[in-house]
Amino acid sequence: MQFHERIRQELDELRALDRFRVLPDISERNGKHIVVNGKSLLNLSSNDYLGIGDDEPLLSGYTQAFSETGHAMTSSSSRLLTGNHPLYDQLEQALAALYHREAALVFNSGYHANIGMLPALSSRHDLILSDRLNHASIIDGMKIAEAPYQRFRHRDYDHLEELLAGAAGRYRQIFIVTESVFSMDGDLADLERLVALKEKYEAFLIIDEAHAVGVFGEHGLGLCETAGMVQQIDIITGTFGKALASTGAYAVMSALFRDYLLNTMRSVIFTTALPPVILGWSLLTLARQSAMRVERQELLRLAARLRHELIERGFDVPGESHIVPVITGGNDLAVAMAAKLRGEGFLCMPVRPPTVPEKSARIRISLRSILQWEDIARIPEIIGD
């Protein structure tokens, strides 16, 4: 009973801090809108940045075509047993060709990728250096790995160099890992500086492009493509679960490291493979997004305009991407601001610690290319009153 009482007390503390979470009742998603708890709201909390998930003709055409292939709906096994459907090979070959890299490897999710990669590649003789605001999945991967790790101050590459210089010659291998577009702040990593540091200190560089794929780059390959650094980065990871409107994740790399991960990465070896219906859809959405240059440009213009309007009203709005966070500081203010927007027909979720650092609660506005300025123009006025 003592254990049960402690759990109750912890939940009560979360409620008192405005951190208690519940699952929303989502009954319908329809283009720009989503029905939550019976109310239709403009969906500003989706990671479907290009609106591909709401492309009904694309979905209905795929569903019809897939039903005619005779492919099974399930894999029922890991890839190393009987789950390695031919669509896996097609998808990984398409990714490698798109990035002009030797090889690619598909995972069940971005979380699977990040909790498995660092533990597979590193040992207690190595060191991992991670941006302080990296996603929880990267942090969990570091905790699982045997290698010691240190976190450098967010986007502070002078601090990163201090750590690299201090570690030089003391470890078998040093790994640098960072997101490119940070999911809660919407700001961007300096990939040119990171590549320069990687080369100077002979480090191994891993870039997580989860929130950049589909949005940045001529072909939607992310910030690495924009910076012209696709070939210089050891491993680039991306996800199908955001702008590509599917599920799963991937990494592009050399054939050597693909073979190594396939033989050592526990989240690949010991999980059931993705079903063929998902692999085929990912192939289709990958091809679709690569041609959506105009949509990418319009999305970033829309975000820049909203960010400017909010800053003009005195709000703290960091970043320079399609993710527009409005920092409130206190949890109660973030919850109240989200509730006010919901009352006016907008779904913008409050984000609170521990997802973000203490005293940096916010509402996170996630924009999509299917939105127009007229859809969101009232937001600065609503939260500014």
pLDDT by residue (tens digit) across 345-383?
999 999 988 889 889 999 999 999 999 999 999 999 999
pLDDT, mean of residues 154-183: 97
Query: Percent of the chain having pLDDT more than 90?
Result: 88
Residues 6+ apart with CB under 8 A from 243: 47, 48, 49, 50, 52, 213, 214, 215, 220, 289
Q: Read off the tokens for 101.
A: 């890299």
pLDDT at 22 over 90: no
Distance of CA 128 to the CA centre of its chain: 20
What confidence score (pLDDT) does residue 27 get? Answer: 81
Cβ atoms of 340 and 356 within 8 Å: the answer is no
pTM above 0.75, yes or no: yes
Cβ-based neighbour number of residue 363 at 10 Å: 26
What confidence score (pLDDT) does residue 371 get? Answer: 97
Would you kindly state where each structural domain of the chain is located, as residue ranges? 22-50+293-384, 71-290
Closest to 184 (Cα-Cα) out of 247, 141, 132, 229: 132
What confidence score (pLDDT) does residue 302 get? Answer: 98
Q: Within 168-292, where are the H helices?
A: 191-201, 223-226, 255-264, 266-269, 276-290
What confidence score (pLDDT) does residue 156 get? Answer: 98
Q: How far is CA 51 from CA 59, 297, 325, 345, in A?
A: 12, 14, 20, 19
Cβ atoms of 190 and 143 within 8 Å: the answer is no
Q: Whole-number mean pLDDT of the chain?
A: 95
Give tens-digit pLDDT for 84-114: 999 999 999 999 999 999 999 999 999 999 9
Beta-bridge partner residues of 205: 176
Overall fold of domain 22-50+293-384: Aspartate Aminotransferase, domain 1 (3.90.1150)
What confidence score (pLDDT) does residue 215 get? Answer: 98
- Give the CA-trace dihedral at 31, 35, 41, 47, to 10 degrees: -60
Does 22-50+293-384 match 71-290 in CATH topology? no
Cβ atoms of 130 and 203 within 8 Å: the answer is no
Give tens-digit pLDDT for 278-330: 999 999 999 999 999 999 999 999 999 999 999 999 999 999 999 999 999 88
**Residue keyed to tokens 């527009």:** 324
Indicate the helix (H) or strand (E) that contains 177.
Answer: strand 174-179
Read off the pLDDT band of 24 (50, 70, 90).
confident
pLDDT, mean of residues 25-29: 85
**Residue keyed to tokens 């493509």:** 225
Give tens-digit pLDDT for 35-72: 998 999 999 999 999 999 989 999 999 999 988 887 87
Give tens-digit pLDDT for 197-230: 999 999 999 999 999 999 999 999 999 999 999 9
- Give the CA-trace dihedral at 44, 50, 55, 58, to 10 degrees: -160
86 vs 68: CA distance, rounded Å: 16
**Is CATH 3.90.1010.10 the right assignment for the domain spanning 71-290?**
no
